[in-house]
């Protein structure tokens, strides 16, 4: 991939001096907020029918990232976000991490909080983890976080904290305070519970020490649950529809963000806090990503182009209220945040590009290309963007997580050669056709061959790691651990 650099030491110094005040240099607090399955059309700046006044205020006084990209599903996105690496380099490119899989994000990969601790930050994780828990080595307090309050698995009931899979063969209670099971906030809606914990961490943060908070809401992932008062904001009368409930979940999330920002203001911390907000992938409902094509679990824009903003009161006034149309990928946040924090990578090679001068100083965006995904676990999907052009080889839509190798091997193409032979080649001009309605593969063959060559180069580079996709194990079942989702039934790698 094309790399961009500006000279490490001078670059960090320039950005850091730009960000801090003239009278007193200080490392800003950094709050990284991840919404779950929030669609492109489910925020007020894309859809005036959605009620998100807090997010709108942050966007109006910050920077909207209109070309922000994530992975097609939850766990791969979280892996990319916290490592700065594309998931195909870590074996995490396939689907999500089922709670029964004996694996997790490899411990050889350093996470963002580990870097930030080296430059003096306290580090806190709240909410959804979903990067593996079968070994204690995969859990947050072993991966650089000083504290953790949240759940390990992929999803759970918003009130009872019971996590289960689609077939209900896996079912157990899942809420932890660091390593210990906790029943704090029993019956409380999770957006309120996690926001309340974030407020508590802000109130207890020692003066003079910078804080990094990773606040990963489960909202608005299934199940569709929300207190009626939020859904009634969209449907005052009658039996509540699924659409009204889902929209209410967005507004409940926004209220959690309001509580967070009000706590920062009470502690006089708002001016010294960078807030980054993003969704881990596109929405899963029809229309939730309008006008983009596709949804969660696809490499179409609707599955991978997500809502995002960055807010920092110490940005110059003339830079606030802008919308960036430059590409930003999840992998960019690690080097960007580390630069804002005054740290460095010390020669570590990442896929992420430092975007700090683009985001906070108005410089042109440095990213020109990105990889959507390369995944051949069950069937082949390979997608890449280069400038305005996007190429998909194979199947744009993913399979559900419960599909096995045995029931897909004879049904689908597994290699890029087979995909090309079957004419499963899709080329889109995202500048003229952002909604991917016209396949130009047969009309722009030179462009198609250029992007296809980039995909082949990745295959030949040795960087492509086979998907880490072991079979589910019954040792995972909470019934073996007193009905609680628990680590301790696999070895880390």
Among the listed residues 144, 119, 140, 127, the one whose alpha carbon sits nearest the alpha carbon of residue 33: 127
Buried b (16+ CB within 10 A) or exposed e, 380-413: bbbbbbbeebbbbbbbbebbebebeeeeeeeebb
Tell the residue number behind the tokens 């100083």, with chain if given.
Answer: 361
Asked if 327 and 385 touch (Cβ cutoff 8 Å), the reply is yes
**How far from 100 is each of 172, 180, 275, 288, 489, CA to CA, in Å?**
12, 20, 34, 29, 10
Distance CA 285, CA 7 (A): 44
Asked if 288 and 295 touch (Cβ cutoff 8 Å), the reply is yes
Selected catalytic residue, list 68, 94, 124, 130: 130
Is 134 catalytic? The answer is: no
Is 5 catalytic? The answer is: no
Buried b (16+ CB within 10 A) or exposed e, 113-128: bebbbeeebbbbbbbb
Helical residues (DSSP H) of 71-122, grouped into ranges: 74-83, 112-117
CA atoms within 13 A on the CB side of 248: 21
194, 196, 201, 202 alpha-carbon torsion, rounded to 10°: 120
Question: What is the three-class DSSP state of 338?
Answer: helix
Residue 281 preceded by cis peptide, ω within 30: no
Tell the residue number behind the tokens 């029918």, with chain if given.
Answer: 49
Strand order in the sheet with 180-181: 180-181, 176-177, 147-151, 122-128, 211-216, 29-35, 273-279, 308-311, 63-65, 322-324
Q: How buried is 423 (Cβ within 10 angstroms: 0-12 exposed, 13-18 middle, 19+ buried)?
A: exposed
Angle at 59 between CA 431 and CA 115, to 5 degrees: 90
**Residue 205 corresponds to which tokens in the numbers above?**
């943060």
Asked if 449 and 470 touch (Cβ cutoff 8 Å), the reply is no
Asked if 80 and 131 touch (Cβ cutoff 8 Å), the reply is no
Cα 216 from chain centroid (whole Å): 9
Selected catalytic residue, list 74, 134, 311, 490: 74
H/E segment holding residue 56:
helix 53-60
Tell me the DSSP string of 200-229: HHHHHPPTTS-EEEEEE--TTSSS----HH
**How far from 341 is each of 143, 211, 335, 374, CA to CA, in Å?**
19, 10, 10, 32
Residues belonging to the active site: 74, 130
């Amino acid at each position: 991939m094309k790399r961009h650099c500006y000279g490490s030491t001078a670059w960090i110094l320039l950005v850091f001096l730009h960000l801090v005040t003239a009278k007193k240099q200080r490392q800003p607090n950094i709050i990284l907020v991840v919404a779950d399955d929030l669609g492109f059309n489910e925020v007020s700046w894309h859809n005036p029918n959605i009620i998100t006044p807090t997010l709108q205020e942050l966007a109006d006084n910050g920077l909207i990232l209109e070309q922000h990209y994530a992975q097609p599903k939850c766990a791969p996105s979280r892996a990319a976000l916290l490592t700065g690496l594309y998931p195909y380099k870590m074996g995490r490119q396939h689907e999500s991490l089922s709670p029964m899989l004996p694996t997790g994000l490899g411990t050889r990969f350093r996470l963002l909080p580990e870097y930030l601790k080296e430059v003096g930050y306290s580090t806190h994780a709240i909410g959804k983890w979903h990067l593996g828990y079968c070994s204690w080595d995969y859990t947050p307090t072993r991966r650089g976080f000083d504290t953790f309050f949240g759940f390990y698995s992929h999803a759970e009931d918003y009130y009872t904290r019971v996590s289960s899979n689609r077939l209900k063969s896996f079912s157990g209670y899942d809420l932890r305070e660091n390593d210990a099971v906790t029943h704090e906030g029993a019956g409380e809606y999770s957006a309120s519970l996690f926001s309340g914990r974030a407020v508590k961490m802000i109130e207890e943060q020692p003066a003079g020490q910078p804080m990094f908070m990773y606040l990963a809401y489960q909202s608005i992932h299934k199940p569709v649950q929300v207190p009626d008062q939020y859904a009634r904001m969209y449907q005052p009368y009658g039996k509540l529809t699924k659409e009204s409930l889902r929209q209410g979940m967005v507004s409940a999330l926004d209220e959690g963000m309001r509580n967070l920002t009000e706590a920062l203001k009470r502690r006089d911390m708002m001016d010294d806090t960078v807030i980054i907000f993003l969704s881990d992938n596109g929405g899963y409902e029809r229309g939730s990503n309008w006008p983009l094509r596709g949804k969660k679990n696809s490499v179409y824009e609707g599955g991978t182009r997500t809502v995002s903003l960055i807010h920092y009161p110490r940005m110059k006034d003339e830079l606030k209220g802008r919308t960036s149309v430059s590409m930003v990928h999840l992998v960019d946040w690690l080097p960007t945040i580390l630069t804002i924090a005054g740290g460095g990578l010390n020669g570590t090679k990442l896929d992420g590009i430092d975007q700090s001068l683009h985001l906070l100083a108005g410089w042109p965006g440095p990213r020109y290309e990105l990889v959507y995904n390369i995944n051949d676990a069950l069937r082949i999907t390979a997608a890449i963007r280069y400038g305005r052009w996007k190429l998909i080889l194979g199947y744009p839509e993913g399979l559900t997580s419960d599909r096995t190798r045995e029931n897909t091997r004879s049904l689908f193409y597994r290699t890029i050669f087979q995909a090309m032979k079957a004419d499963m080649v899709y080329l889109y001009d995202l500048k003229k056709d952002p909604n991917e309605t016209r396949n130009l593969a047969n009309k722009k063959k030179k462009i198609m061959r250029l992007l296809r060559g980039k995909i082949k180069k990745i295959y030949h580079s040795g960087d492509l790691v086979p998907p880490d996709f072991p079979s589910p194990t019954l040792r995972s079942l909470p019934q073996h651990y007193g009905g609680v989702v628990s680590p301790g039934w696999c070895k880390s790698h």
